[in-house]
Structure 1
Amino acid sequence: MAAATSQAASAGPRVSAQARNAKRFIVGIAAIAALGGALFGYDTGVISGALPFMEDHFGLTSLGEGIITSALLIGAAFGSLIGGRMSDALGRRNSLLWAGAVFIGGALAVALSPTLPFMTVARFVLGLAVGSASVITPLYLSEIAPPHIRGRLVSFNSLMIVSGQLLAYLVNAVLAHWAAWRWMLGLAALPAVALFVGLFFLPDTPRWYISKGRQDDAAGVLRRTLPVEDVPAELARIDQARNLEADARRGAWEQLRTPWVRRLLLVGIGLAAVQQITGVNAVVYFAPKILASTGLGTGAAITATIAIGAISVLATTIGMSLIDRVGRRPLLINGLAGMTVSLALLGAAFHLPHSGAVSVLVLCLMVLYMAFMQATLNTGVWLLLAEMFPLKVRGLAMGAAVFVMWVVNFAVALVFPVLLDAVGASTTFWFFGVMCVLSLLFCKRYAPETKGLALEDLEHELRKTAEAKAG
């Protein structure tokens, strides 16, 4: 008895030390890898502050603004397609290293661009890194995290994206005093260097090591995140899951011929389009231009966008806490209703005479709209896309939906400044309000509810529901 007590006492400190080391290792991984999410947010958000000064420097038209803004997004669409395949071939860590190098070179090329065509090409190349990081970063985090904290660690990446946008708004506000738009764009190279250097100190994921037959390397990583006695079982579980997914991928195209699976794919693509067509990135990319149209000065308009970034971070945190309690469908439907009201009021506000009070009102309504968007639609759509597809088509269907999301994002960014000049802010935001109403009807009719169901049970339920609606 005494020996057992002594053994337990000596094991206690060892377990505690192992747990502390594992926590430090995981925190280090999250801090470095999530820089990919922060760069995603920074590079998409920083253009809002740089555009007003680039307009003067390059003599940009509204179409030119749309082209400069959307060049990154079409690059991101193709980068998202490249990222998944590259991460399978080169590894998750090496693919993030590639993305980090492109982030560095792209940020510097954009900042130093001598001409508009050069800027457009540089933004497209930078978009390749943004799109790749949008796929690889959550994949890396989900595969290297222990199961009991996987959800929180992957959600942390979403939080880092909106945090990167907030950082961009803060940098824009400071540098706007000197019209230093090149510095706004070029400073993205600093976190990109931190990502690139930090990744040299991180391993790849156990799943990728196992896929390449490197069992010892996989076990070495698992011993840094799990109790030693749990490592063999986890190795076996990963190997079994990888084999099941390989079998599933081989039958993916055949499965798409099944009517209920095709229906789910179309619903997923529709949800991806809904997330973008309702106008969120028109606000993210062009908030200073919108505020300037109310009579606010350029510097003040850029500074005011900090409120939009701050509410995005707060609302994303709230959405993450609500999604499992409220459910996916109610969150989408109620969020779209709130977005519709916000956009209706925002459109009406532009009919008021220009004044400081009207500028504040427009900012408050944009903040309200972003709060509804980030807490509900943004959180809900990403989670549904990760949950709703059957295993055999999950990778293929998710890739198709994310590609459509980037393409619609590109279209909105290209057309919005032209639309703003052609029909005015009021009509433009009412148009987005109509899109919200149509999206609400779409979600009410087609969006599935996935709350509280294991993925295996969920596939059965979604099949029954899809077949019933199709019949």
Structure 2
Amino acid sequence: MKSRRWILLFGALGGLLYGVDQGVISGVLLFIENDIPLTSLMEGVVVSSLLLGAIIGSAGSGWLSDRIGRRKTIAIISILFIIGSIGSAVAPDALTLIIARIINGLGVGGSMAIIPVYLAELAPTPMRGKVTALYQLMLTTGILISYLSNHLLAPFEAWRWMLAVSTIPGVLMLGGIIFMPESPRWLLRQNQEIKAREVLGLLRKPNEIDNEVKAVKQIDRENNESVITILKSKWMRSTLIIGILIGVFQQIVGINAVIYYAPTIFTEAGMENTASTLGTMGIGLVNVLMTVAAIMTVDKLGRKKLLKIGSVAMSASLIVLSLILFTSGLNASTVWLTVIFLGIYVMSFAVSWGAVTWVIIPELFPLKARGAGMGIAIMGMSAANLIVTLVFPMLLDSIGIAWMFTIFATIAAMSFIFVSFFVPETKGRSLEDIEKDLRKSRIS
């Protein structure tokens, strides 16, 4: 079973792509002014250009993976990310940096759309939540690594080296995918049963293989539609809307505004640049540890319960944080309270929406359209992330951080209502059983 763990761990490496690039830009923003001066608008454009690429990458990679396979698509994603990371590090001006980050975003968007699908299709049903949540663990680990490198490089104001660190996860994933198997479910769709059984033999007990192959072939035989036909069907439309909204809510509760701009927030509160990057490392460590907690509980408590718990806790922590900032403002006397309640907010997000989103979205889509469906959902998520990231600096300047946290608290409360009424529980059910139930009726 050691081989199983290594396969699943390497399969999740794509999360490092997103995590490192997500976190590294927060340190870059502190020092880039020395070489490439940026207005608030251009700062937002530089940060969000990654997400523009992610929208395109997520949309295209889903369809591509359904055609050429998950494994080859991941290799292409890795190459794009490496090219974009190198281009960002050597960019002589803002335009070149933006273009390089768009290329980087193609890889990020592709990894967001394909890695969770790949993991869900590899994992045995009883531990599918735990395995798919490894993507978020890698993502948060990537953020923490970037925060650490930012802190070490901050005394030298070496923002180009901060960006250069982003090439490492791309190289690791490209090297790792050489040794990874193809998705057994994709192989069965291509009538490559012998190869599919070989892969399943690495990850299943011998008596489980026949039943799983039979279930996949049966549902494929019973539902002989094209991808387009599936996507246009009534039941799939409702599923797509729910999948998209799960991804959108994950972004608009404000987590990436905190990840991208935490050092800036701490600096405005009176911290030195080096101290602000150190404080941000603490936020990153909390993110990783609570993601581990999510991995340990998602298959026990279930997807829906964790999402609801997270919504309540995020809203409460942001409300308290807003009250502190409204009454005392952001200054040296409130900075550690700000750090504490930001930490509670990040904890709440990491144990729920951070990890569970990557688990539940690929579970909702049928085998034949899983790549395409996931791509559409992640495209919506990336678009929401783009909007939040682009407007956050301008809103921060115009209405202040207290009102921003109030808005995010309200959205977190809305996410609780959405989950309560519309999101199904998928814990402990095979992908084929979930598909059968969703085909019978619209989710309500």
What TM-score bracket applies, with the shorter chain setting the length? 0.7 to 0.9
Question: What letter matches 1:103 in structure 2?
Answer: F
Question: What letter matches 2:84 in structure 1?
Answer: G
Q: Which residue of 2 aligns with 1:370?
A: 346
Between the two structures, name the one with larger relative contact order (CA 8 Å, sep ≥ 6): 2
Paired residues for 1:147-162 under 5 Å: 149-162=127-140
Q: Structure 1 residue aligned with 2:241, among 238, 252, 266?
A: 266
1:197 CA displacement: 2.5
Q: Is the counterpart of residue 194 in structure 1 residue 172 in structure 2? A: yes
Paired residues for 1:296-375 under 5 Å: 296-351=271-326, 352=328, 355-375=331-351
1:79 CA displacement: 0.8
Q: Which residue of 1 aligns with 2:415?
A: 439
Query: Which is further off, 245-254 or 83-92?
Result: 245-254
Q: Which residue of 1 aligns with 2:184?
A: 206
Query: Which is further off, 229-238 or 439-448?
Result: 229-238
CA RMSD for the aligned pairs?
A: 3.0
Cα distance change on mapping 1:166 and 1:245 into 2, 3 Å: farther
Q: Which residue of 2 aligns with 1:180?
A: 158
Could you tell me how far apart the structure 2 residues matched to 1:203 and 1:250 are?
27
Question: What letter matches 1:365 in structure 2?
Answer: F
| Partner-residue secondary structure (3-state), 1:106 | helix
Could you tell me how far apart the structure 2 residues matched to 1:383 and 1:322 are?
12
Cα distance change on mapping 1:244 and 1:105 into 2, 3 Å: farther
Query: Which is further off, 325-334 or 430-439?
Result: 325-334
User: What percent identity do the matched residue pairs reach?
Assistant: 34
Cα distance change on mapping 1:398 and 1:185 into 2, 3 Å: same
Q: Structure 1 residue aligned with 2:391, among 415, 431, 434?
A: 415
1:234 CA displacement: 5.5
Query: Which is further off, 396-405 or 127-136?
Result: 396-405
Cα distance change on mapping 1:332 and 1:91 into 2, 3 Å: closer
Q: Which residue of 2 aligns with 1:55?
A: 33
Cα distance change on mapping 1:355 and 1:422 into 2, 3 Å: closer
1:382 CA displacement: 3.7
Question: What letter matches 1:52 in structure 2?
Answer: L
Residues 39 and 130 in structure 1, CA contact (< 8 A), matched pair in contact too: yes
Paired residues for 1:8-407 under 5 Å: 23-145=1-123, 149-225=127-203, 238-243=216-221, 247=225, 249=227, 251-256=229-234, 262-351=237-326, 352=328, 355-388=331-364, 397-407=373-383
Question: What letter matches 1:307 in structure 2?
Answer: G
Size of the aligned set, in residue pairs, is 442
Residues 50 and 101 in structure 2, CA contact (< 8 A), matched pair in contact too: yes
Query: Which is further off, 65-74 or 97-106?
Result: 97-106
| Partner-residue secondary structure (3-state), 1:295 | coil
Residues 207 and 239 in structure 1, CA contact (< 8 A), matched pair in contact too: no
1:384 CA displacement: 3.8
1:62 CA displacement: 1.1
Query: Which is further off, 380-389 or 332-341?
Result: 380-389
Cα distance change on mapping 1:176 and 1:444 into 2, 3 Å: same
The higher radius of gyration belongs to: 1
Query: Which is further off, 181-190 or 323-332?
Result: 323-332
Residues 107 and 185 in structure 1, CA contact (< 8 A), matched pair in contact too: yes
Q: Taking structure 1 as the reference length, what is the TM-score of the superposition?
A: 0.83
Q: Taking structure 2 as the reference length, what is the TM-score of the superposition?
A: 0.88
Could you tell me how far apart the structure 2 residues matched to 1:264 and 1:144 are?
22
